Structure 1
Amino acid sequence: MELFGTPIETIYLTALIISGIITVLYILFGDVLEGVAEATGFLNPTLILSFITFFSASGYLFEQLTPLNSLLIIAISAIIAIILDVLLNVFVLVPLASAEESLVYTEESLKGRIGKVIISVPEDGFGEVVIESNSGNIAKPAASFDDLPIKEGSQVLVVDIKSGVLYVTPHESFDELLK
């Protein structure tokens, strides 16, 4: 089959190469286009590029390897591209978007967490506390909630947070109480 005087295989191959190049450019400079994805809502550039790539790759392969009619190949390629695009969206893009958000913490989420003093907290001054989390360690300035000095290496409980400073109190774990 020919389209605009060009064999359909050439059109498939050209679309595959162009979509591949645009995909690489999008990976490198995708942050610039993130506003487009947010503004349109449903027109995600990643899904559009992957659809074109899947469609052109399967169309080219079917044209080269099977004796099927070109219109049937277009229909089959479109169905394959839609299925693969949906799978990509559901199993890769949506979980990645959720994972990116889950790495972020708010100061309010630190209340009630247990940390370790890495720079001792003086009676009326500031020290530093590190809190371990799934996304890494969080080191924050700390002051004593009860205005009592807290030694380096002590376990502390975050009671309050004001202006980025953790207000902590000494904390003893259940194992330490049993000793």
Structure 2
Amino acid sequence: MTIFGTSIETIYLVLLIVAGSLTILYILFGDIFHGIGEALSFLHPTLVLSFITFFSASGYIFERVTSLSSILIMAISAIIAIILVTLLNVFVLIPLSSAEESLSYTEESLKGRVGKLIISIPQDGYGEIVIDSKSGMISKPAASYENHAIEEGKQVLIIEVKDGVLYVVPYENNRLYNEDLEKIETI
């Protein structure tokens, strides 16, 4: 089959090369065009370029390998491309977009978390705290909330965050000390 005097195999191959090149360029420079697909998420540039790439690749392969009619090959290629793009969207793009949000943290979100001192805090001084998170370890400067010395290796509770410094108090393994009753209660 020919379209405008060009064989369909050549059209598939040119589409494959152009869409593949545009996909690579979009991966490298995609942040420039970040908001383009926000209104219609199914028209996201990654999905459109992937559809064209899968469509042209399967069309080219079927034209070269089989003796099916070109119209049937286009239909099969479109179905294959839709299936692959749907799988790409559901199993790669959607989880990646939610993973980007879940790995980040704000200093305000650190309030109330428990960490471990890796550098002791002297009275009226600064030390360093490490906090376990989903994305790894977070290391931040720390100071005592009550201006008391806290030894290295102790667990501490983050009370406040000011100017990038975490203000902490000692934390005794999920226990609170109630001075009025003079006993230790488990939370």
Q: TM-score, normalised to structure 1's length?
A: 0.88
1:167 pairs with 2:159 = no
Q: Distance in 2 between matches of 1:66 and 1:99?
A: 42
SS in 2 for 1:139: strand
Q: Which residue pairs with 2:76 in the alignment?
A: 76
1:24 pairs with 2:24 = yes
Q: Distance in 1 between matches of 2:139 and 2:15?
A: 50
AA partner of residue 76 (structure 1): I
Shift of 1:128: 1.9
SS in 2 for 1:173: coil
Identity over aligned pairs, percent: 67
Q: Distance in 1 between matches of 2:173 and 2:11?
A: 68
Q: Distance in 2 between matches of 1:37 and 1:118?
A: 45
Q: Distance in 2 between matches of 1:32 and 1:109?
A: 29
AA partner of residue 30 (structure 2): G
Shift of 1:38: 3.5
Q: Distance in 1 between matches of 2:81 and 2:124?
A: 64
Unmatched tracts of structure 2, length 5 or more: 175-183
Q: Which residue pairs with 1:116 in the alignment?
A: 116
Shift of 1:89: 0.2
Q: Which residue pairs with 1:97 in the alignment?
A: 97
Q: Distance in 2 between matches of 1:69 and 1:19?
A: 24
Q: Distance in 1 between matches of 2:45 and 2:135?
A: 28
Structure number with the higher helix fraction is: 1
Unmatched tracts of structure 1, length 5 or more: none
Shift of 1:115: 1.2
Q: Which residue pairs with 2:88 in the alignment?
A: 88
Superposed, which structure 2 residues align to 1:56-75 within 5 Å?
A: 56-75=56-75
